[in-house]
Each structure stands twice: as structure tokens, then as C-alpha cells.
Structure 1
Amino acid sequence: MTVMLHAGVCMVRQYCTFAGIAHGHNARELFARLVERRIATPYSALHARARLYHIHHRRLYAAIGEPHSRYRKPLPTGRAMERLMMLDAVLDQPSIPWLATEGDKWTHFIRAFGTALTIEWLPQLRFGTPPHVTVRYFPDRQPIGIVEPGEAYTFLYLASKPSTVDLYTFLQRHAELLRTVRRWTVRVLLPPHLFKARDSYIRALRLELGTRLAPHMADEFRWWCRARKAGAATRLPGESPR
């Protein structure tokens, strides 16, 4: 279930870590049975001795409430490696529960904060034009760890390119939620081919999270953002912004 919710792919070593068992015959036999029953498909990784297993069986995903999960689809090896990193990060903190799906995140934060959290503050994307607008909450598909319910959380972010533009978008989309949470950590995962961009990501984090606005400036900025959003929502189709 952990694999299907967070990555769709895994390696035998990750199963052994999760189960707390030695990497041996029993683990290899389990994955051989998954392949034999067409629950998983194996393929080679970056070197011959490493083998990935893609868990894709439709009935299994339906059983966890995710019959249309994107993790069922085949993917290039490069993308698989990124998902393995995400799974490793989740397995690295086995003592905390992780929120993976939009529904799980929505339900948890609404219950945890109640009236202290406005729905508009949740990370979201809007599609369409009024009155036909579709809203997707938590569109980034990055796991959120519950360190302490209602108090402390870990937000994972998997970098996929040297540019930090997407990181800025991620942080800005989560800005209101981060202001609501008492304690939080943003953990950025860098694949090996992006190690040279480490300093750029550190600077982006410091710029976006390290400089605190004065309270009155923050209030004015939030008012301006909401007023701009309201103006965009009431503009007629084809009308240019003023």
C-alpha cells in the first residue's frame, strides 16, 4: 500500500527495510510471485544488478481507493528513480503517518484545524472560467508527514530540474497552510544529476522562507492577493485586466 500511494515502483531492499528483514531468499521469492501473478513488472535500473518492480495491478489500486492512480502507468527509468527517492524519504521516517492523496490531505487538515483554517488557504489549482470552475486541492502530489497532528508536519518536495521556479510555485501555493501550522519542515529531495543545483535550491528556500515580512506588510500583501484573485474571478471572458 505504501508503494502504491507514494511511488508505484520499489526495490527489494526497500521492502526489506519496511518489513525489518534481511535481504535474502524470502524477499526475492515474494517479488518473483508478484511477477508470476502479473501484479508487478520487473525492469532493470541503471546497472544490471539493480532491479525495479512496478506494482500496477488494477484490483490492488481499487482496493485502496485509487483505481485511476497515475502510478499504475509505465514510466521511463529516470522518472522511476525519482519515485524511488520519494519512497526512500517516506521509509526514512517509519514512525509517522504520511498523507499521499488529495482526499487524505483535505480530510486531515480540515479536521485538524477546523474553523481556524479557511478552505481558500489550502494549496489549489483552478481550471475554467466562472461560473464553471474546477478546483483541485493539493495538486503537487508530494507526501506530507504528520509529525504531530495539528502541530508539526514535514512537507516533501522532489526536485526534477535545475531551475527552482517550480519550488517557488510549490512554496507559494503552500504559503497560507504553512502560516497556519505551528511547526513545519520543508525537505527538498535532489536526485544525483541535480546535485550541482544544491546551492540554488538553498538560496531559493532562504529567500522564500527565511525573510519574514512585518505583520502589517504581510496583511497588506494577503489583502492585495485576495483582491486581485476576486477581480480576476469577476472579469468577463476576453476582458483584459486593467
Structure 2
Amino acid sequence: MNKIMELKSISAGYADSLVLEDINLSILDRDFIGIIGPNGGGKTTLLRIILGLLKPLRGTVSFYDKDLQGTRKAIGYLPQFRIIDKQFPIRVMDVVLSGHMNSVGLFRRYSREQKEQSSAILDRFGIFHLKDRPIGELSGGQMQRVFLSRALVSSPRILILDEPDTFVDSSFSQDLNEILVELNDRMAIVLVSHDIGTIISSVKNIACINGTLHYHGSSEFSQELMETYNCPVRIVGHGDMPHTILKKHGE
């Protein structure tokens, strides 16, 4: 697989606090990276650097894909559900259309094609009938489908998800894994989760972050590795298939 983005020797922080030190991470075409680590370990800071929302103190961020060169238009982002203001007066369709903002600018109108793309992706996730509903009236699962639609409507090369199963209904959590496997056939995915065990059958690589970052293929996903980064694991059987499930931090 071709390399499409690289973080090299990245150090970052806020004020006098250094959060990340000497981080190296490559994102490949159709990669699926699970990022795990304790609270305060730097997961959100790393995402902010990938998204271009935070400038590192040291190091470089490089793009190797022509669609990403010098821009982050081809990066889709699904934020944590809990940071969404449910009182904001905006319709479902308007939320999805805003995923085209990078290509149309702040004051230009959306094209017919962009409106059709937005309708199509809402239909794909089974929520087209909610297109005129205020966002604050949706359930957790419905809202995550809307914001996933927004992240995907511009056909990104990289999809970034920050705790996508936080505060959502169990039915959406079950559907999410299947959705991500399908999407991974045509884009790279970077997923931050406190419970990487729920998607361990899908991720191709694991990035353990706690100030520094260690990158491992899924075959290296071991108890020793997780305990080192304050993410202990246990192996359980489910039929003939073993699954790796994360314990809660502090157990």
C-alpha cells in the first residue's frame, strides 16, 4: 500500500506542557489504524495535528497523495458525540451539506451535484427521512449516522473517528464495525477508542500512545504491550474465534 501521510519526529503540547514527544506515524492507503492509550496520553492532540488544527512544536507533517498535497480537504472527521451542541438550530441535511464547505467556501451555494451526494449518503445510512429534522431531536445513533454522513460526503481519502461509539445506542455500535470494514476498501481509517477490543477484528495496526507512540501490527497486539501503555487486555473465547477485549483502566 502507498503512503499517503506521514508524521515525523513530532513533538507537541500546550503552554508549558509537552503532551507528545518524538512521534512517528505513517498512514497508508486503505490502512486501518486503531489508536489507544490512557486519558491525557495525547490521543486528542495527535488527532488535532493530523487534522491541521494544531501546529507541532517540532517535526513535520507530509502528504504523499496529490489529493492531500498542501491541503486537508480529503480528510473526513467524525468528532466525539459529546462535544456536539444539540441545541444548535440546524437541520440534518444542512449538517451533511456542510461537509462540502472546504470545496465551496463559506458564502458560496452548494451545487446540485453536492445536494444529490448528500441525499444519497443519507439514504445509504437509512436516515433520508430525517433530512429536515433539527439535529437536536435525534437519538445518539441517528446523530452519529448524520455526522458520519457529513464526514464521508466529500469522498475523503482518510477518515478520522474520535470515540465513535461514545453515548450511542447498541444497535449503531453493532452496525459501525460493518460500515467501517466496507469503507476501508476505498479509504484509510484512523480510529481513536477507549475500547479497541470491540473492533480488533477490523483494525490492521495498533498505535499505543502515552506521551510517546509505539506502532504495532495486529499480530503484535499482546498483553505485555497493552500493560506497558496502561491498556491491559484479556483474551476471551467466542465460539472458535478468540477476541481481545480491553479492561477498564485501573483494573
- The TM-score normalised by the length of structure 2 is 0.29
Highest Rg: 1 or 2?
A: 1
Which structure's relative contact order is higher, taking Cα pairs within 8 Å and 6+ residues apart? 2
**Greater helix share, structure number:** 1
**Greater strand share, structure number:** 2
